[in-house]
Amino acid sequence: MSIIEKAKQIKMLILDVDGVLTDGGIIIDANGREIKVFNVYDGAGIELAHKAGLLTAIISGRYSAPVEHRAKELRINKVYQNAANKVEVYNKLIAKYGIIPEQTAYIGDDIFDIPLLKLVGLSFAPATGRQEVRDIVDFVTQSAGGKGAVREAIEVILKAQGQWQQT
């Protein structure tokens, strides 16, 4: 099945955080607080996905307060942090929303994401993802993690679904 055919079926986009929504860097200030940099294009892409009716979720292996704040700001439908077993969380997530794997897309960048990337209907990796990940996904973005990769993946999905609107 082609990427366009797979993208037409997507109802939910699931995101990893470090290396996908961010460049993978973790900044700790003098008080021990974590700081993350998020890309405005990715945020705008998530808003466009919501306007097109897509559900969004985050499944991250670590907890980060900035992620909680950014997810709330972007109205991400469901956020799972400290997810030791992403596949287990994924199975609960799709059961909650009554969707099947073929209707889900996931963007991951590291070897810990491979089991989930193999389950979803459409898999993405940022250009900066690990080679092992880039080798197995359906689509590798031209953009780096934290530098518009999420927006690029969303554009692929929305264009295939005839939902992409340039204003």
DSSP class of residue 145 equals: T
Q: CATH no. for residue 74?
A: 3.40.50.1000
162: which 2 tokens? 């005839």
Domain boundaries, position 146? 3-55+65-99+110-159
Assess if residue 88 is contained within a domain.
yes
In a domain, 104, yes or no: no
What pLDDT does 129 receive?
A: 97
Instruction: Count structural domains, the chain.
Output: 1
The pTM of the full predicted model, rounded to 2 decimals, is 0.95
Q: pLDDT tens digit string along 68-87? A: 999 999 999 999 999 999 99
Residues of the chain with pLDDT under 50: 167
> What is the number of other CB atoms lying within 10 angstroms of the CB of residue 80?
17
Q: What is the pLDDT of residues 92-113, one digit of tens each?
A: 999 999 999 999 999 999 999 9
164 occurs within a structural domain: no
